[in-house]
Structure 1
Amino acid sequence: MAELIEISGASYAPSGVPVLDDITFSSSARRIGIVGRNGSGKTSFARLLAGLIAADRGSVRVASADVARDRKAALGAVGILFQNPDHQIIFPTVQEEIAFGLLQMGQSKFDAAKGVAGILTRFGKTHWAGAAIYRLSQGQRQLVCLMSVLAMQPKVIVLDEPFAGLDIPTAAHLTRVLAGVDATLVQITHDPASLQGYDRVLWLEAGRVAQDGVAADVLAEFSQAMQQLGEDDDLSDLAR
C-alpha cells in the first residue's frame, strides 16, 4: 500500500546551485517534523512537497498526486501555510481569499460560497467574511490562511515556520487550532521544542537527509549537534 507522502530521489538545483540533493522519504504518519539549520533546505523542501516548485530529478507524490505536475489534484492533496501570511494572501477580503482555492479546485461560485460560510462558522468568524485583510493583525491573517487551506480539505498540510513573528498568546492559540486539525501535519522548523509529541522527524543538513526516524530520537541527536555547534566557533566559517 502506498504511503500518503512519497518522495523518491528528489533533487532541486535552481540555476545549477544544489539546494536539495537526492531526498527520499515516505510516510503516512500524522505528525511529521522537518528540522535543520538556516540554509539547510527546509523551505525548499516545504515548497517541493506542496508542489510549488518541481524537482529537477526524482518524484514527489502526496495522496498519489504528482503535486508539481497535476496542480488541480494537488490542491485536494496538500496545502501550505507560509511563515509570513502576506506572502500567501492575494485578495482584499477574507471571503474572497478563502473562496479562491475552492474555485481553483473547480467548485461553482455557489458551492465555494457555502464552503467559505462553513469554515468561517467552524471557527466562529462569520463576522470576518467581508473584513478587509489589511485591517487584521498578523495572527489573524495567519488564521485566514489556515482557514483557506482547511476549506480545501487537503490530506496533508505543510507548515513553514508557522509561529515565526507571532506573539506568545497568538502562537498558543494557533497551536491549539493545529492540534485539532484532522489532517497530516508536516511542520518545518529550527526549534525542536515545537515538535514535542510528533511521530517522525526528518533532519536536513546542507540539502541532504542527515537523519530520519522516531521524533524523540532524531530531536535528541539534532539538539545535541546544535548545542555542540553553539559551543564551537561556528560563526568563523563563511556560509556557502
Structure 2
Amino acid sequence: MQSRPTGHTTHQPIRFTDVNVDVTQSGPTGMTTRRILSNISTVLTEHRVGIIGANGSGKSSLVRLINGLNLPSSGTVTVGDWDVSRHAKNVRQRVGFIFSDADNQILMPTVVEDVAFSLRRHKLPREQRRQRALDQLDALGISHLADNSPHTLSGGEKQLLALASVLILKPDIVIADEPTTLLDLQNRRRVARALTELPQQVIVVTHDLDLVRDFDRVLWIDDSRIVGDSNAQGSGGPRGVIKRYEEAYGGV
C-alpha cells in the first residue's frame, strides 16, 4: 500500500464559479427543464474531500462536472488552468473516475488484462503494459488475483480493480462515486483504506459518513445547492457538517 500523506496537503484548485446545471426531461405534458445544481461557487484544494447528501440532491452531478461527464448550463468549472467545458480531453487525463458499480468498468477477461487495457493508447510493448499492471495491482495488495476473471472477485476486490485501472494512468485527482455502497464491512474497510492512503487528491461522494468523517473537507449538498461546508466559519469542521446532516436526515 502507498503511505498516507502527512500534514494538510493542498492541490491545484478545482474551481466552480456560478455553476448551474439544467436537465431536460420528457413528461406527460411534454418537455420540461429541471435544475439539478444551483449557484455553485466553491474552490476545492484539500487532499481529501467528502461530498454528502440525500439521494437526488445533486452530489454525483457535482463531481461529474470535474472531468466533463456533465457540463454546466451556465458558469465555469476549471481544474488547474483548464476550463473543463473547453478542454475536457486534457482534464480527463488528470482526473480518474470510479463508479459505484465496478462491474461497469470491467472490460477484459482477466484482472491484469483489465488494468493493462487502460494503457491501450500508450505506445508500450505488451509485456511492459502487463508489468505495469502487475505493479499497480501489487501496490493495492491484489496482485495474487492477476490471472483471475474479474467477475469472480468480491465487491471490494472489484472496487480495488477499478481503482487500479484508474491509478495506472497516474491521475492528479481521483473521484469515487459511492465506492462502498454495495460492500460488506470487511470490503468497505479495504476500499476506504486504499482511498485514504492515496497521494492524489481524493474526492468521494458517499452515504458512508464514517468514511469521510476525518477528511480534510466535507460538503453537504441538498436540493441542488451547497448547504453545508466544513470550511465555513462556525461549521465545526467536517464532523460538525456531518452532525448537522445526521440531525436533518437521521443518519441516512
* Common fold: TM-score over 0.5: yes
CA contact (8 A) 2:98 2:179 kept: yes
**Which deviates more, 43-52 or 154-163?**
43-52
After superposition, give the CA deviation of every residue in 1:41-88 in whole Å (9 maximum; x if it has no partner).
112112222321211212222233334543442233211111111122
Whole-Å separation in 1 of the counterparts to 2:86 and 2:69: 10
Corresponding letter in the other structure for 1:107 = H
CA contact (8 A) 1:53 1:68 kept: no
Once the two structures are aligned, what percentage of the paired residues are identical? 31
Query: What TM-score do the two structures reach when normalised by structure 1?
Result: 0.84
After superposition, give the CA deviation of every residue in 1:168-213 in whole Å (9 maximum; x if it has no partner).
1111111222221111111112343221211111111111111222
Whole-Å separation in 1 of the counterparts to 2:63 and 2:212: 16
- The equivalent position to 1:5 in structure 2, one of 14, 35, 60, is 14
Is it true that 1:158 corresponds to 2:181 in the alignment? no
Pairwise mapping of residues 1-240 of structure 1 onto structure 2 (< 5 A)?
3-15=12-24, 16-103=33-120, 106-110=121-125, 112-212=129-229, 213=231, 214-227=237-250
After superposition, give the CA deviation of every residue in 1:114-142 in whole Å (9 maximum; x if it has no partner).
43132123234334334322222222111
Structure whose residues are more often helix by fraction: 1
Runs of at least 5 residues in structure 2 that lack an aligned partner in the other structure: 1-10, 25-32, 232-236
Question: What secondary structure is seen at the aligned counterpart in 1 of 2:203?
Answer: strand
CA contact (8 A) 1:63 1:155 kept: no
Question: What secondary structure is seen at the aligned counterpart in 2 of 1:182?
Answer: coil
Residues paired across the two proteins, number: 227
Corresponding letter in the other structure for 2:75 = G
**Which deviates more, 76-85 or 111-120?**
111-120
Structure whose residues are more often strand by fraction: 2
Q: C-alpha root-mean-square deviation of aligned residues, in Å?
A: 2.4
Equivalent residue, structure 2, for 1:238: none
1:167–1:68 distance in 2 versus 1, CA, 3 Å = farther
Deviation at 1:163, TM superposition (A): 0.7
1:33–1:125 distance in 2 versus 1, CA, 3 Å = closer
Deviation at 1:225, TM superposition (A): 2.0
Whole-Å separation in 2 of the counterparts to 1:138 and 1:216: 28
Question: What secondary structure is seen at the aligned counterpart in 1 of 2:50?
Answer: strand
Runs of at least 5 residues in structure 1 that lack an aligned partner in the other structure: 231-240
Question: What secondary structure is seen at the aligned counterpart in 2 of 1:154?
Answer: coil
Whole-Å separation in 1 of the counterparts to 2:42 and 2:221: 12
Equivalent residue, structure 2, for 1:234: none
1:172–1:156 distance in 2 versus 1, CA, 3 Å = same
Corresponding letter in the other structure for 2:23 = P
1:115–1:60 distance in 2 versus 1, CA, 3 Å = farther
